[in-house]
Structure 1
Amino acid sequence: MIALCLLVVGGCSRGPAHRGDDPLPAPFDGAAVASPEQERFLHESEERAVAACMRQRGLSYREVPAGRAVAENPYGLLTETQAARNGYGLTADLLAGPPDDPNAELLARLDPEGRAAWRAALTGTGKDERTLSAPDSPDLRINTDGCVYLGRMALYGSEWEQAALTVAGLTTRVIDQVLADPGFRSAQRRWADCMRANGEQFATLQDARGAIQNAAHDAGGDRVALQAVGRRELRLAERDAACQRQSDLPEAVRTAQKRVEAALPASSRRQAAELADLRKRALGPDPTGHRREPSAPKRPATMPRGGR
């Protein structure tokens, strides 16, 4: 957000709430997504669990800070406040550059054998690999003996990986059917007409966002060019969000989504609710406060000591 705010005179300010800032629809009431605030909290909790697991194995680990989080709607919908603050949330990360690896210095002090052992402890040896499957989702391979997996399991529970993969497939199915819905397509044509009236030639929501992605790719590491893309992103996203509201696109999505989800078996809604419950338990009673740190999984310290 800060990087994009610097691109416009006067910086960013909080806009008043209005119709365009009503909660946007997402499959299963957003069961597959977390808010930026929740994402940060969960990331920090997971990193603490990973660090505890590494300490249990006699290895040092510096927690990786949470990156910049921007609310992203699975349909590409935007509120006008989001658009004014962050655009599509694409250029600011490129301007900020990749975050420093807090463990780089630690690894540099290890010999090759020590680095290999450290990485195996963190991500797994490959000896205890499992493959998870779910309809409409790509297979997911996980190393169950690495602290990344064990830390996540300590936070969310052992059911999380399969539940998340299953709901990701269900979400994909809902989105595909909503995007093919005649009511949505009609609203998207009204959106395209509105955009054209504002000098923007795009047929779909994905086309508008894709134009910024392509421009950012073409800019490469040229900061001046990226800043120009950022300014273009803000202007385009604001027009996009305004046209979404004027064409009643969020309501068209909401109506189509309700119809699609109603046709799914009850088990689908139950699986989505179970995933949301797992996240809720991981967040604890106060997602902004001081939740008790997840304990490290009880695993023997089998890896050689490294780091400090």
Structure 2
Amino acid sequence: MRTRIGQAVLLLVLTGATTVACGGSRTPAAGPQTDVVVPFGDSVPALTNGEQSLLDRTERRLVDDCMAGKGVGVEPLDLPSPPAVSHETPAWNPYGLLTEDYAAKEGYGITGPVLRGDPSLQAEPDRDIGDDEEAFGRALTGTEEHRRTVRLPTGESFTVNTDGCQFRAGEELYGRDWDRLMYTYQFLANRVVENVERTGEVRRARGLWASCMADAGHPASDGSAAAELVGRRTDAAKARAADGDGGALRSAAEYELAVARNDARCQRESGLWKAVSDAQRTIEQPMADKYREQLAGYAKALEKARRRL
């Protein structure tokens, strides 16, 4: 799940937390990009980038309504609708897996949206929050008088101000105890991914993948390096396009497609999809059994929110 709006200002105190996302779990070399492998994908709903964006927009509106109820008016946030292609990609892709169908069509999804003029799902426009920033902050994140420390079943803890509009909007959209469910899933899912990446079979598959990419003329040290190379080239192409180079972005798009096609092919030939899927199935099963109730609660909360879209 992409980080929720304002999560950084929830006054969370988390031990060892990293941000994750949610999605489904399959192992194809071709097919929909939404079929990437994700922890607990058999029991947790798979969200697309588009769905996550719509959930974020809904939560923003609930936050603004809450703020207005506290007498703190803010300029309405006019966010564009997510582009169609965002419904073809997962909200989280922890292992950097890429299907050959999507690679042939969109590459990594970096340059195509720029060429089409698709709105960014990451950037949020500035808006007027009024003259009293302190009042805005209190209404958004709450006050220390309502601070609560929550211990997760995994042993970690976080703190949150329960009178803040951010907290209240999350509970309204996803249901009671949402933050506890969300962070429990995040800790468990991160633990699964870290352990999967340490397994011998996955490390061997990544080594074969890296050799394959080098042979194809695209040396990359890990699963994200190839996409990062494309991203840097696209950024440079945008600068050249702004200076009048009409073919810069088109050239960057062609480069992206070439790299991504080889990336997806090398993932298939190296057996990376199968190695990740097999390792994850083994590693996550004990956690899925131990935390079955919490995972079911998280899945139910996501489904509740989805019904509002």
How high is the TM-score relative to the length of structure 1? 0.70
Q: What residue number does 2:259 align with?
A: 236
With over 3 angstroms needed to count, the CA separation of the structure-2 counterparts of 1:152 and 1:85, relative to structure 1, is farther
Q: What residue number does 1:162 align with?
A: 180
Which of residues 118, 122, 127 in structure 1 aligns to 2:140?
122
Percent identity between matched residues is 30
Deviations 1:27-55 (A, max 9, x none): 10173862223213322322232232123
CA distance in 2, matches of 1:122, 1:89: 33
CA displacement at 1:183 relative to structure 2: 1.8
Question: Does 1:35 pair with 2:52?
Answer: no
Contact 2:209–2:272 (CA under 8 A) maintained in structure 1:
yes
Q: What residue number does 1:198 align with?
A: 216
CA distance in 1, matches of 2:56, 2:68: 18
If you compute each CA radius of gyration, which structure gives the higher value, 1 or 2? 1
CA distance in 1, matches of 2:113, 2:139: 30
Question: Does 1:57 pair with 2:80?
Answer: no
Contact 1:123–1:147 (CA under 8 A) maintained in structure 2:
yes
1:51-90 counterparts in 2 under 5 A? 51-61=64-74, 62-63=76-77, 65=79, 69=86, 70-71=89-90, 72-89=92-109
CA distance in 2, matches of 1:254, 1:161: 28
Contact 1:50–1:148 (CA under 8 A) maintained in structure 2:
yes
Contact 2:63–2:165 (CA under 8 A) maintained in structure 1:
yes
Contact 1:195–1:243 (CA under 8 A) maintained in structure 2:
yes
CA displacement at 1:167 relative to structure 2: 1.2
Q: What residue number does 1:259 align with?
A: 282
Question: Does 1:20 pair with 2:34?
Answer: no
CA displacement at 1:276 relative to structure 2: 1.1
Q: What residue number does 2:17 align with?
A: none
CA displacement at 1:85 relative to structure 2: 4.7
CA displacement at 1:139 relative to structure 2: 5.4
CA displacement at 1:234 relative to structure 2: 3.9
Higher relative contact order (CA 8 A, sep 6+): 1
Deviations 1:54-105 (A, max 9, x none): 232234341452685552411111123333454434567899674423x32x
Contact 1:47–1:64 (CA under 8 A) maintained in structure 2:
no
Computed over aligned residues only, the root mean square deviation of the Cα atoms, in angstroms, reads: 3.5
Aligned length in residues = 261
CA displacement at 1:214 relative to structure 2: 6.0
Deviations 1:131-174 (A, max 9, x none): 44548897544332221221111111231111111111111111
Q: What residue number does 2:21 align with?
A: none
Q: What residue number does 1:268 align with?
A: 291
2:125 maps to amino acid: D
Deviations 1:7-43 (A, max 9, x none): xxxxxxxxxxx85125222110173862223213322
Contact 1:195–1:239 (CA under 8 A) maintained in structure 2:
yes
1:2-13 counterparts in 2 under 5 A? none
**Structure 2 alignment gaps of length 5 or more:** 1-27, 243-247
Question: Does 1:44 pair with 2:57?
Answer: yes
CA distance in 2, matches of 1:139, 1:211: 37
3-state SS of the aligned residue for 1:130? Answer: strand
2:79 maps to amino acid: P
With over 3 angstroms needed to count, the CA separation of the structure-2 counterparts of 1:145 and 1:28, relative to structure 1, is same
Question: Does 1:247 pair with 2:270?
Answer: yes
Contact 1:133–1:139 (CA under 8 A) maintained in structure 2:
yes
1:183 maps to amino acid: E
CA distance in 2, matches of 1:215, 1:127: 49
CA distance in 2, matches of 1:253, 1:87: 21
Q: What residue number does 1:189 align with?
A: 207
CA distance in 2, matches of 1:146, 1:220: 42
**Structure 1 alignment gaps of length 5 or more:** 1-17, 289-308
